[in-house]
């Protein structure tokens, strides 16, 4: 029970940070997307794992856009986050590398649907690098906590 609460707090805090405009050197990493993708690797595959994953996606989406109706960016975010819950099981690499691959694809798909003209620019590249750094740090922290039996 403590592990899912840790994941909820992690996704909630990072989603709030993104919603309030957190940036590094003027670039805003997609912390909510990174936290949902990374957290998906720490949800144990069990009876309620899909429900827990969708709870994290819904929490992040609700924090990012607290208004009636879904905007296209929240819908795309939710689809990417939900897809990560399923795709992670089929990736052949170590979870750390699979996490990075999903972050790359998630960021690319997000831009592909919402701002395709920014993909060939340095804005996309800088955000992708920040997302990968954030994902690596989150994975390392969660891996440490899980191995130390929180």
Domains of the chain in start order, with CATH, are: 2-147 (1.10.1760)
Dihedral class, residue 68 (left if φ above 0, else alpha if ψ from -120 to 50, else beta):
beta
Half-sphere exposure of residue 5: CA atoms within 13 angstroms, side-chain side: 3
- The pLDDT score that the predictor gives to residue 1 is 64
What value does the mean pLDDT take over residues 119-137?
93
* Calpha distance 31→108 (Å, rounded): 14
Per-residue pLDDT band for 88 (boundaries 50, 70, 90) equals confident
70 and 38 in contact (C-beta within 8 Å)? no
pTM, 2 dp: 0.89
pLDDT of residue 135: 95
State yes or no: pLDDT of 74 exceeds 70.
yes
Handedness of CA 125, 126, 131, 132 (dihedral sign): positive
């Amino acid at each position: 029970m403590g592990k899912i609460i840790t994941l909820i707090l992690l996704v909630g805090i990072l989603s709030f940070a993104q919603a309030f405009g957190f940036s590094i050197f003027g670039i805003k990493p997609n912390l909510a997307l990174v936290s949902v993708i990374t957290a998906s690797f720490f949800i144990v595959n069990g009876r309620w794992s899909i429900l827990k994953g969708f709870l994290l996606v819904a929490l992040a989406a609700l924090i990012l856009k607290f208004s009636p109706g879904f905007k296209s960016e929240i819908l795309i975010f939710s689809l990417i986050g939900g897809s990560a819950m399923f795709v992670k099981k089929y990736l052949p690499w170590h979870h750390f590398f699979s996490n990075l691959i999903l972050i790359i694809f998630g960021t690319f798909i997000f831009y592909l649907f919402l701002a395709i003209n920014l993909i060939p620019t340095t804005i996309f590249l800088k955000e992708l690098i920040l997302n990968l750094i954030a994902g690596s740090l989150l994975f390392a922290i969660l891996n440490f906590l899980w191995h130390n039996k929180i």
